[in-house]
Structures are given as C-alpha cells and as structure tokens.
A and B are shown apart, each in its own frame.
Chain A
Amino acid sequence: MTAWEPPDRPRSRLAYCCPEKMAEDREPPPLADAVQTDFREVEEGEDLFVSTVSTAEQLSPTSPEPASFPAEDISTNSNGPKQEILLDDDQEDLFAEATEEVSLDSPEREPILSDGPSPAITPVTPTVIITPRVDALFDRSLDEDEEAEENGDTFDMQITVSDPEKVGDGMNAYMAYKVTTKTSLSLFSRNEFSVKRRFSDFLGLHSKLASKYMHIGYIVPPAPEKSIVGMTKVKVGKEDLSSAEFVEKRRSALERYLMRTVNHPALVKDPDVIQFLENTELPRAVSTQALSGAGILRMVNKAADAVNKMTIKMNESDAWFEEKQQQFENLDIQLRKLHASVESLVCHRKELSVNTASFAKSAAMLGNSEDHTALSRALSQLAEVEEKIDQLHHEQAYADFYLFSELLGDYVRLITAVKGVFDQRMKTWSKWQDAQVMLQRKREAEAKLQYANKPDKLQQAKDEIKEEIEEWEAKVQQGERDFEQISKNIRREVERFEKQRVKDFKVVIIKYLESLVHTQQQLIKYWEAFLPEAKAIA
C-alpha cells in the first residue's frame, strides 16, 4: 500500500517499520516503508538535536525534541501515552517540558486507517472536495521502544477542524467549524471534546497569543488570512465549486494553524488556548475586525513599528543574530518565489485537466464519425484514456496544492512571524538603550545639582533626583534582563523552528513525490491498456 493515496480513498497513516525491512528487496513502491525508516532514525539520533543554548544550563536527560504526535488511535499497540510535563526550575526552559517518548512500530503493525472524520464533507456544499490530509506533519504512529523509554513522555494531542456549517444568512452569516480535540494531556479536563468556533474566534486567539508572547521572543504561529471575496461568496449563498473549495481551503488552514499552535510547548499551556479548545461559549472577538477600533489601532501600530525599524540602528554584538536574520531574509525571498511557481503549477495543471477532458470529448466525437470500424473503436478508447488522465491531472493538482503550495504559504507567513520576533528584540534593545540614556541624564542632573546655588530647594531636589536615579537604574537593569531573556528565547525558538521546518519540508516533499509516482503509475496503467487497442487497428 502506498503512503500517498488518491483522495477518494480513506487516508492511511504512515506506518513505521524496522530498518531490517528496508534492507529486503522491495517491490515498487518501496516508498511507504522507506519513508518510515527516516523517522525511526530521528529518535535514535538524539545527539544531533541538542540545542546550543541548553549546554549552558542543566538539561533534563532527554533531548529537546520537537513535540510530535502519534496517530489518533493510541489504543492499539502503543504502550499508552504516558505524559508528564516536567517542570523545570528554570521557568523559561520550556524545552524541558517538550519531551516525549518516541517509539517505533513493531514490524507487524498495519498502517492505521484514519478514524477522524473524512475531510471536507460538509452539509453546506453540494460537492465533496477531498483533500489529501496533511496530518503527516503532525502525527506519527509511533510506538514505544524500550530504549526510548528514558526519553520521557509522549506529547499527544490531535486536533481536527471539520463540519463547516453556515450559520445565519445574508451579510451577517458566518461559517462555524467544529474543533475536535483528542488528548491525554492533564491540562485538559477531558480526553476528547469538541466545540464550535467561527473564523474570528481563531483570529482572536492569535491576537491574544501574539500580544502575550511575541514581545518575549516566542514565534507565535500566524492565523490564516482573511478573505473578503471568498467569504462574501459564501455569505451570499453561492453553493458552487469555488466557494466549496474556499471553505475546504480555510478548514484545512485552520486545522494546521491549531496544530502548529499546540505544537509549541508554551502556547499549549496558555489559558486562552485551553479555553479556546474547551469552552463551549467564547466571547466574540470583535477586535479582529479590520475596521474596529482595535483594528485601526493595529494598523497604526504596524506603521509606527515600520518607522521605528528604519530608525533603530542596533549595535549587534552577537553575530548569530545577524547571520540568522540574513538567512531568514534569503529564505523568505526564495520561499515566496517557490510558492508563486507552485501556485502557477497548480493553475496550469487544473487547466491541463480541463483541456484534456475537452479533448477526450472531441476524440470521442471523432471516433463516432470515423467509418472504419477498428479505427473508430480505437479513437473511442483514446477518448476514454484521456478522460481518465484528465481526472488524474485533477487529483494531482489537488496534491500540488494541498501538500506543496499550502505548506509554502504557511512557511512564508511563519517567517514573517520569525522576522517579527527579531524586530521585537530590536525594540527591547532600544528600550534598554533609552533607559540607559535616561539614567545618564539623571546622573548628570544630579551632578549639576551639586553645584547649584539654591540651598533651600537643594535637598528636596537631591532627594527627587536620587529617587529618579534609582528608578532608572532599575529600569536599565530590567531592560538588560529583558534583552538577554528575549535573546535567549529567540535562540531557542529559532532552533525549534528550524527543526520543525526541516521535518515539515522533508515529510511533505516526500509525500508530494509519492503523489507524483502514483500519477505516473496510473498513466502507465492506462496507456498499457490502450496500446493493444491501437495495434488492433487493421
């Protein structure tokens, strides 16, 4: 069974097997199994992922692995997700908590069939759009391995966004999505629960998290983008293919957003996140609207930030930051370019699918009018082949999109968040510097007072100045602490981000290549069936 299935069959999870199987002579496609050995090795190679920061502090015996999730049906075969979140003494050492017990499948294990809801079957739309599930990023059907037991705990959480439903009508209508969480973390009161959320709720969540964490250097995953055109179509009640596609695209994006958010060791514990996932009722996040007071304030702040960025000239003492910023800049440019190319590919493939279908019909007509019997039959067969091929192109276009293009889009947005965090560090540095300047001024003022002539006011002034100096000294110290803290956080976050990026890209690209293989397999099948027909023309 191939790991990438065409969308109209139930998705199967990646199955993992021991490397011994890898050595066996495999029939094509070997990919399903080949992919898995990769991840086995990830667990054993813990040395490679030791964070540079952690050498400075006492680390728990486990390596700071990025949190990953086993598949939903944790009941079979696995030793059960033992989850303990180790709380380190050092409050900031988040990575100590993000350890999990990662384990391996036993060789006999069959690929696990998805027991989540099949994607995108909505009561709203007349057509069913099947998305290849990109859960590979977020779940692993990993079982335990005795050696890995000392690694610690399993970070296990699975979120699905499903059942988009239109609520209300006219311009006040909105889409409500069902958010289902399955987890064994003790943070949550139950193991499985679901709530109804609308898009602005997601934006509200992101807004809160960003305001809480960005300024201390955490990379908060960005929420999916608003789309006025898309939503208006849905509101107006256009139940056609493009609005169905829009809803599906959004549903998938929301799911990835939530998974990325809870993947972050600090964010998953945030009360807002927990509330978002658990509470039936959520106060409506009106401040996310573009034209609200908060929206306008946001725009003003953004403009102010942009100006500040230009004026702050930071003395970068740490080459690491300079290097990283440059790298992210380059990465940003290339990913955007790649994204544009992939989007173009999606577009052309869809076009190819349409044109092939059109040609198929035309060939069928030609076959009908051809008066030589054998040739007529062959032409009809050609028409059938082309029809199947058009379907194939259509599926491939979906894979192009949902696997590749959306990943790139997500990362373009994530890198914007990363750049934002670097900017925050600059701001923190600037604040610290400003505090130092103020302190210096106050000290100068104090020195001046020594030579002042008004003895009656002198003592009062001196006391005042002394107070202010103390105040600013404290601020300077705080500023320095903040700066160091954010620098430390950023280093860790970037480390975590890069690891996740490597994993995401590898997984998705390999899956994408598998989809390409599948397409070729089918093409071979179809043309092989046609060839004898062509040869049979007498």
Chain B
Amino acid sequence: MQTGLEKVLEWFPRAVNVDLQTDATLQVDISDALSERDKVKFTVHTKSTLPNFKQNEFSVVRQHEEFIWLHDSFVENEEYAGFIIPPAPPRPDFDASREKLQKLGEGEGSMTKEEFTKMKQELEAEYLAIFKKTVAMHEVFLCRVAAHPVLRKDLNFHVFLEYNQDLSVRGKNKKEKLEDFFKNVVKSADGVIVAGVKDVDDFFEHEKTFLLEYHNRVKDASAKSDRMIRSHKSAADDINRIASTLYTLGTQDSTDMCKFFLKVSELFEKTRKIEARVAADEDLKLADLLKYYLRESQAAKDLLYRRGRALVDYENANKALDKARAKNKDVLQAETTQQVCCQKFEKISESAKQELIDFKTRRVAAFRKNLVELAELELKHAKKIRQNLYIGNLQLLQSCLAVLKGDT
C-alpha cells in the first residue's frame, strides 16, 4: 500500500508548498487505508519534534467524519476567521464503481470468459484509482493544516492526530443538517449584502471581483473536463469491446484473415490500455486540479466574506458610536464594541492579505506543475500509441506477405 500511495500522492502540494518539505517539526501523512463496506479507515501517521506530543512518532485510525469534524471546528473558530481554511476532503464515493461492478456481475452470462475477466480487471483498477484519490485528498487536507503556521498548533488538530481512540464524532443528524441548511441560506444572503459593500482597500476590492469570477469559471471548467474525460473513457471501453470481438473473429475465421484479425485485436488492446491511461492521467492532472482549486477558491471567498462581515460590523459599530455620542448614552459600551470590531477587522485584514497572496502562489505553482506533467504524459502516451501502431502495421503487412508467399 505504501508504494502505491507514494506514487499517487506525488502530484500534490508537497512539492508545491516549500514549507511542507523542509519542516521536520511536524510531518503528517496517511500511511495506510482500508476500504470497508461503507467506510474507509485512514491510518494517520505523524512524526513530530514538537513538545506538545507524548511521542515523536505515532499513528491513529480516522474516518472521513472525523476529518469533517476537524474542518468544521476550524471554520467555527473565530480566531481563524482571517485564514483560508483548507477545504475539507470530499466524501469517499465508491457508489458509481460499485454499481458498475454489480452490473458486470449481472451481465456475466452474456459475455465470454475473457471479456468478463478483462472488464472485471478494468473495474477493479478503476476502484483502486478512486480509492487512491480519496486517500490523497484526505492527506492533502492534513498536510495543508500541518503547514499552516497557526492552524498546526490547534488543539483539536493535535487531538485528531494523537488521540488513539475513536473521537466519537457522529455524523450530523437530520435536525443538525436542517440547521446547517438554514445557516447556509442565511449566510449566502448575507454574503450578497456584504459583497455589495465597497471596500476602501484596492487589494481586497480586486480580490473580491477576481475570486468571484474565477470561482465560477473554475466550476465550469471542472464540470466540462469531467465530461470530456468520461467520453474518453467510454471510447476506450468501446475499443476494448472491438478488440475482444476481433479476437473472436480471429479464432473462428476460415480464411487467412485469422492471423490478421488476431494481430489487429492485439493492437487495439494495446491502444486501449494506453487510451485508458490517458483518460486516467487527464483525470488526475487536470480534473482533480480544477476540483481542488474549486474548493480552495471557495475557501478564499469564505475568507473574504468573513472580512466583509467584520467590515460591516465595524462600520455599524462606528455609526452606533457616533449615535451614542450624539445622544450621550451608553457611550462606553459603544466604544468598547467599536474597538472590538476594529481589532477584529484589522486582524482579519492583515492575515487575509497574506493568505490571499499565498493562495495565488500555491495556485500558480500547482497549475504549472500539473500542466507540465499533463503535457508530458500526453506526449508520452501518444508516442507510445504511435509506436505500437507502427510496429503493429508493419507486422500486419509482413504477415500478409508471408501468407501470400505461402509461409503460413
């Protein structure tokens, strides 16, 4: 499991965010994962020289809900209002893959043994790929937290890493989910109001407009890239079926087409394998990249919202103070409120600026890395397919010649 994980996890921010590499005081990774019926168990492994922990190296088993709990605790913490909270990893979703495996099982009677085995292998590989991806997403979340100068010191985070019993974090029940729903409605309505307030600071004003547009476009690009990759996979599946049928034709044909068909079948099979890899790589390098930055840009937007909210509160507090002074009533109270709001706002503004700059740096680096790798992989695969086709064609023609010379 370890080697597989390492290979999959190479694509993500560890190379990008330099802090993660050189910081030995706290290193977190997911060393193992187990997929059970309806849940995934992640083994979170920590290496740390910090005095906070009882040992220098230790592991615990965590489930997805516990990650969500940790993320939510950050979001709800007022102290962290000025940070881009690393986006929560998406829920492990094997439904689609399981459904396909089930359908395959049902259709077993209608296809040949070879076809069935092939498709089964394909689906198992797909399942494994999804599994690796979900592990990677969860690990990325933890690494981002561990890399953040303030968040890494969070108590909940330490508990998450160290406490080797179940955190007893249950999923939200219906009532809580409903509450969340309403909270979100209120928040988005508020968000609109807050966003409408013009910011004095050019930097933030620009970031607001930028992020809004960027987020929408990333969303669109992510959806379209998913569709494109799905079509690619479907085409590869078709080539798979074509290869199988050609193989059957090759075994049955009465003319000298036998060998021809068998060779062509082989060629198609090789091509298909590579095309499937192309789709998988596009998925990893392009689709996943876009999905991640969709979530991150949302987190950045949330930060701006919180700052905007604080600004509105500050301005309101100012107004209230003026009013209190005018009426000469509750002035002290108003002053305190105003000061609190002012501090809050300034604190958020200060850290938000740095966070947004870091976000840009991370984003540019991640895109660069992934686009370069995407192009390199596409080239590698296209060259391999081309080479196979050349060799295949040559072999076909040679076999034609051989047949005609009577050498069969």
Q: Which residues of A contact B224 (CB under 8 A)?
A: 355, 358-359, 361-362
Q: Are A524 and B245 in contact (CB under 8 A)?
A: no
Q: Is A327 on the interface with B (CB-CB < 8 A)?
A: yes
Q: Is A112 on the interface with B (CB-CB < 8 A)?
A: no
Q: Is B33 on the interface with A (CB-CB < 8 A)?
A: no
Q: Which residues of A contact B252 (CB under 8 A)?
A: 327, 330-331, 334
Q: Considering the complex, which residues of chain A in the window 18-52 have a beta carbon less than 8 Å from any beta carbon of chain B? A: 28-31, 34-35, 37-38, 41-42, 44-45, 47-48
Q: Is A349 on the interface with B (CB-CB < 8 A)?
A: yes
Task: From known contacts A34-B397, A48-B404, infer whether A527 and B228 are also in contact, taking CB-CB under 8 Å.
Answer: no
How distant is the Cα of A375 from the Cα of B366 in the complex, in angstroms? 11
Q: Which residues of B contact A537 (CB under 8 A)?
A: 364, 367-368, 371
- Which B positions have Cβ atoms within 8 angstroms of A? 210, 213-214, 217-218, 220-221, 224-225, 227-228, 230-232, 234-235, 238-239, 241-242, 245-246, 248-249, 252-257, 260, 264, 267, 271, 360, 363-364, 367-368, 371-372, 374-376, 378-379, 382-383, 385-386, 389-390, 392-394, 396-397, 400-401, 403-406
Q: List 13 A-B contacts (CB under 8 A).
A: A34-B394, A38-B397, A38-B400, A341-B242, A342-B238, A359-B221, A362-B224, A370-B214, A509-B264, A510-B397, A517-B390, A527-B375, A534-B371
In-complex Cβ contact of A355 among B227, B245, B256, B406 (8 A): B227
Q: Which residues of B contact A523 (CB under 8 A)?
A: 378, 382
In-complex Cβ contact of A506 among B213, B254, B260 (8 A): B260
In-complex Cβ contact of B214 among A37, A363, A369, A521 (8 A): A369
How distant is the Cα of A348 from the Cα of B279 in the complex, in angstroms? 14
Q: Is A365 on the interface with B (CB-CB < 8 A)?
A: yes
How distant is the Cα of A521 from the Cα of B230 in the complex, in angstroms? 23
Q: Considering the complex, which residues of chain A in the window 303-344 have a beta carbon less than 8 Å from any beta carbon of chain B? A: 327, 330-331, 334-335, 337-338, 341-342, 344
Q: Is A124 on the interface with B (CB-CB < 8 A)?
A: no
Q: Are A531 and B217 in contact (CB under 8 A)?
A: no
- Residues of A within 8 Å of B, CB-based: how many? 70
The residue on A at minimum CB distance from B231 is: A352
Q: How far is the CB of A49 from the nearest CB of chain B, in Å? A: 10
Q: Are B245 and A341 in contact (CB under 8 A)?
A: yes
Q: Which residues of B contact A47 (CB under 8 A)?
A: 406
How distant is the Cα of A312 from the Cα of B364 in the complex, in angstroms? 77
In-complex Cβ contact of A510 among B231, B246, B396 (8 A): B396
Q: Considering the complex, which residues of chain A in the window 423-472 have a beta carbon less than 8 Å from any beta carbon of chain B? A: none
Q: Are B267 and A513 in contact (CB under 8 A)?
A: yes
Q: Are A362 and B221 in contact (CB under 8 A)?
A: yes
How distant is the Cα of A537 from the Cα of B373 in the complex, in angstroms? 13
Q: Which residues of B contact A506 (CB under 8 A)?
A: 257, 260, 396, 400
How distant is the Cα of A80 from the Cα of B368 in the complex, in angstroms? 63
Give per-residue flags for A456-499: 1 if the beta carbon is below 8 A from chain B beta carbons, else 0. Answer: 00000000000000000000000000000000000000000010
Q: Are A516 and B242 in contact (CB under 8 A)?
A: no
Q: Are A501 and B255 in contact (CB under 8 A)?
A: yes
Q: Are A358 and B227 in contact (CB under 8 A)?
A: yes
How distant is the Cα of A37 from the Cα of B257 in the complex, in angstroms? 18
Q: Are B392 and A513 in contact (CB under 8 A)?
A: yes
Q: Is A214 on the interface with B (CB-CB < 8 A)?
A: no
Nearest first, the 4 A-B pairs at minimum CB distance are A352-B231, A345-B238, A537-B368, A534-B371
Task: From known contacts A334-B248, A359-B224, A502-B257, infer whether A344 and B238 are also in contact, taking CB-CB under 8 Å.
Answer: yes
Q: Which residues of B contact A372 (CB under 8 A)?
A: 360, 363-364
Q: Are A348 and B238 in contact (CB under 8 A)?
A: yes
How distant is the Cα of A33 from the Cα of B217 in the complex, in angstroms? 49
Q: Considering the complex, which residues of chain A in the window 134-160 have a beta carbon less than 8 Å from any beta carbon of chain B? A: none
How distant is the Cα of A115 from the Cα of B406 in the complex, in angstroms? 37
Q: Are B231 and A28 in contact (CB under 8 A)?
A: no
Q: Are B235 and A527 in contact (CB under 8 A)?
A: no
The residue on B at minimum CB distance from A41 is: B404
Q: Is A366 on the interface with B (CB-CB < 8 A)?
A: yes
Task: From known contacts A345-B238, A509-B264, infer whether A530 and B375 are also in contact, taking CB-CB under 8 Å.
Answer: yes
Task: From known contacts A358-B227, A358-B228, A534-B375, infer whether A30 and B394 are also in contact, taking CB-CB under 8 Å.
Answer: yes
Q: Are A505 and B390 in contact (CB under 8 A)?
A: no
Q: Is A131 on the interface with B (CB-CB < 8 A)?
A: no
**Other CB < 8 Å A-B pairs besides A345-B238, A359-B228, A509-B260, 19 of them?**
A31-B390, A34-B394, A37-B397, A38-B404, A327-B254, A331-B249, A334-B245, A338-B242, A349-B235, A366-B218, A375-B363, A382-B371, A502-B255, A505-B260, A506-B257, A513-B392, A520-B386, A527-B379, A537-B367
In-complex Cβ contact of B382 among A44, A359, A520 (8 A): A520
Q: Considering the complex, which residues of chain A in the window 343-383 have a beta carbon less than 8 Å from any beta carbon of chain B? A: 344-345, 348-349, 351-352, 355-356, 358-359, 361-363, 365-366, 368-372, 374-375, 378-379, 382
Q: How far is the CB of B238 from the nearest CB of chain A, in Å? A: 4
Q: Are B234 and A348 in contact (CB under 8 A)?
A: yes
Q: Considering the complex, which residues of chain A in the window 377-392 have a beta carbon less than 8 Å from any beta carbon of chain B? A: 378-379, 382
The residue on B at minimum CB distance from A336 is: B245
Q: Are B220 and A365 in contact (CB under 8 A)?
A: yes
Q: Which residues of A contact B248 (CB under 8 A)?
A: 334, 337
The residue on B at minimum CB distance from A368 is: B217
Q: Which residues of B contact A9 (CB under 8 A)?
A: none
Q: Which residues of A contact B379 (CB under 8 A)?
A: 524, 527-528, 531
In-complex Cβ contact of A520 among B214, B231, B385, B396 (8 A): B385
Q: How far is the CB of A538 from the nearest CB of chain B, in Å? A: 8
Q: Are A375 and B217 in contact (CB under 8 A)?
A: no
Q: Which residues of B contact A327 (CB under 8 A)?
A: 252, 254
Task: From known contacts A359-B227, A506-B260, A520-B389, infer whether A341 and B238 are also in contact, taking CB-CB under 8 Å.
Answer: yes
Q: Which residues of A contact B264 (CB under 8 A)?
A: 509, 513
Q: Are B217 and A366 in contact (CB under 8 A)?
A: yes
Task: From known contacts A342-B242, A358-B228, A517-B389, infer whether A524 and B257 are also in contact, taking CB-CB under 8 Å.
Answer: no
Q: Are A31 and B210 in contact (CB under 8 A)?
A: no
Q: How far is the CB of B56 from the nearest CB of chain A, in Å? A: 39
How distant is the Cα of A502 from the Cα of B361 in the complex, in angstroms? 61
The residue on B at minimum CB distance from A36 is: B397
The residue on A at minimum CB distance from B227 is: A355
How distant is the Cα of A531 from the Cα of B368 in the complex, in angstroms? 10
The residue on A at minimum CB distance from B383 is: A524
How distant is the Cα of A355 from the Cα of B245 in the complex, in angstroms? 28
Q: Are A369 and B238 in contact (CB under 8 A)?
A: no
Q: Which residues of B contact A34 (CB under 8 A)?
A: 393-394, 397
Give per-residue flags for A76-112: 1 if the beta carbon is below 8 A from chain B beta carbons, else 0. Answer: 0000000000000000000000000000000000000
The residue on B at minimum CB distance from A383 is: B221
Q: How far is the CB of B257 from the nearest CB of chain A, in Å? A: 6
Task: From known contacts A513-B393, A537-B364, infer whether A48 and B260 are also in contact, taking CB-CB under 8 Å.
Answer: no
How distant is the Cα of A45 from the Cα of B392 in the complex, in angstroms? 24
How distant is the Cα of A47 from the Cα of B252 in the complex, in angstroms? 24
In-complex Cβ contact of A359 among B210, B225, B368, B400 (8 A): B225
Q: How far is the CB of A511 from the nearest CB of chain B, in Å? A: 10
Q: Are A45 and B404 in contact (CB under 8 A)?
A: yes
Q: How far is the CB of B106 from the nearest CB of chain A, in Å? A: 19
The residue on A at minimum CB distance from B267 is: A513
Q: How far is the CB of B134 from the nearest CB of chain A, in Å? A: 24
The residue on B at minimum CB distance from A45 is: B404
How distant is the Cα of A470 from the Cα of B303 in the complex, in angstroms? 108
The residue on B at minimum CB distance from A44 is: B404
Q: Which residues of A contact B253 (CB under 8 A)?
A: 331
Q: Are B404 and A362 in contact (CB under 8 A)?
A: no
Q: Which residues of B contact A374 (CB under 8 A)?
A: 364
Q: Are A378 and B221 in contact (CB under 8 A)?
A: no
Q: How far is the CB of B402 from the nearest CB of chain A, in Å? A: 10
Q: Are A338 and B231 in contact (CB under 8 A)?
A: no
